[in-house]
Amino acid sequence: MAEQVKVLIIGSGPAGYTAGIYASRANLAPVIYEGNQPGGQLTQTTEIENFPGYPEGIQGPEMMEEFRRQAERFGAKIISKTVASVDFSSRPFKVVDEDGTEILAETVIISTGASAKYLGLPDEDKYRGMGVSACATCDGFFYRKKQVAVVGGGDTACEEALYLSTLAKKVYLIVRKDYLRASEVMQRRVRETENIVILFNCNTVGLFGDEVVEGAKIVEYKGTDREQIFDIDIDGFFLAIGHHPNTDIFKGQIDLDAEGYIITKAPSTRTNVEGVFAAGDCADPTYRQAISAAGTGCRAALDAERFLMEH
């Protein structure tokens, strides 16, 4: 027999756990499916210094464990499994987990997050958290007066490079093509910033360093008769080639934008399906910060509570 729940939260991380804290304090007995990466992207982050309330900073996994414990303290039921499929065609919503267990949910909060796109180099895993990052806003502070590289040629890459240029001594912008895809204003700002060096027609093929990143191996004009390989000395390597929202199982069930992000009816967290709400990075292509994700988790729980009161 299918389990019946008032609030089902799909995904953990700051948004999912915060939704769990608020929903459980409202006596809604939420059930959180953590997914295959409990705690989300923050569990791959080392020091977090920009979340209020942690003046000395805190490790990402430790912070997520505190969020988790707080949700559990108020009665949230946390299940360490993934959701395999959803059916939002009628209420209660039908959700099936990886083991085939069916859950009937009166409301659903989706907080499945997003995953940063990586180049696919083995060295990225080797040095993750030890010089490799996908968030300049999160980790740039650690590279004051050091040399860093940003990979990408779009607006995000230019924004990250400009942000890092205010902290780092030198910023390499590694661009695969012979031009920047960013808007004209962003291109101009990057070109006018003295400590940003743009490396066009370049691909990163490896990173090196004893225990942390100390440099990158670059190929210029790859696959042509002008090909040459050279090294750059860097302390940080930032990926800015985009994010992929973890929303594949919701295709055809709710409205997504062209990139796959869940469309919500601002300022609420409501989706186009009544009773289904979205919080965190899966519905946020713009900010992608732990603090903003937690805020939408709070709003989604309040939206779900109001929905249940009205229905």
Q: How far apart are CA 133 and CA 168, in angstroms?
A: 15
Partners of residue 48 on adjacent β-strands: 58
Q: How far apart are CA 175 and CA 197, in angstroms?
A: 11
Provide the pLDDT for residue 47: 76
Q: Of 123, 138, 158, 303, which residue is the catalytic one?
A: 138
Looking at the predicted structure, is the pLDDT value of residue 67 above 90? yes
**In sequence order, what DSSP letters do the residues of 81-130 get, joined into one string?**
--EEEEE-SSSSEEEEETT--EEEEEEEEE---EEE-----HHHHHTBTT
Residue reference for tokens 């070109």: 191
Q: How far apart are CA 20 and CA 53, in angstroms?
A: 20
> Which one, of 269, 275, 272, lies nearest residue 295 by Cα?
269
Provide the pLDDT for residue 269: 98
Dihedral angle, C-alpha 267, 269, 271, 273, nearest 10 °: -120
The string of pLDDT tens digits covering residues 232-267 is: 999 999 999 988 999 999 999 999 999 999 999 999
Query: What letters, b where the CB count within 10 A reaches 16 and e where it falls short, cover 144-169?
Result: eebbbbbbbbbbbbbbbbbbbbebbe
Looking at the predicted structure, is the pLDDT value of residue 45 above 70? no
Radius of gyration of the chain (CA): 21
> Which one, of 78, 74, 51, lies nearest residue 62 by Cα?
51
178 catalytic per annotation:
no
Q: Which of the 8 DSSP states describes residue 256?
A: B
Q: Please state, as a whole number, how many other Cβ atoms lie within 10 Å of the Cβ of residue 232.
A: 18
Q: Quote the longest CA-to-CA distance of the chain.
A: 69
Which residues are CB-neighbours of 217 under 8 A, at least 6 positions away? 204, 205, 206, 207, 208, 229, 230, 231
Who has greater pLDDT, 303 or 136? 303
pLDDT interval class at 210 (50, 70, 90): very high
| Predicted TM-score of the model (pTM) | 0.80
The string of pLDDT tens digits covering residues 11-23 is: 999 999 999 999 9
Report the relative pairing of strands 276-278 and 93-97 from DSSP bridges. unpaired
The string of pLDDT tens digits covering residues 119-154 is: 999 999 999 989 999 888 888 999 999 999 999 999
C-alpha neighbours within 13 Å on the C-beta side of residue 99? 8
135 catalytic per annotation:
yes
pLDDT interval class at 283 (50, 70, 90): very high
Provide the pLDDT for residue 254: 98
138 catalytic per annotation:
yes
Q: How far apart are CA 231 and CA 205, in angstroms?
A: 10
Who has greater pLDDT, 128 or 278? 278
Extract the tokens encoding 93.
């919503």
Provide the pLDDT for residue 44: 66
SS3 76: coil
Contact 213, 238 (CB under 8 A): no
Provide the pLDDT for residue 64: 94
Provide the pLDDT for residue 287: 87
Contact 208, 217 (CB under 8 A): yes
pLDDT interval class at 288 (50, 70, 90): confident
Provide the pLDDT for residue 46: 65
Provide the pLDDT for residue 242: 86
Q: Of 87, 123, 135, 202, which residue is the catalytic one?
A: 135
Contact 297, 111 (CB under 8 A): yes
> Which one, of 304, 239, 298, lies nearest residue 271 by Cα?
304
The string of pLDDT tens digits covering residues 73-106 is: 999 999 999 999 999 999 999 999 999 999 999 9
Q: Of 87, 97, 99, 139, which residue is the catalytic one?
A: 139
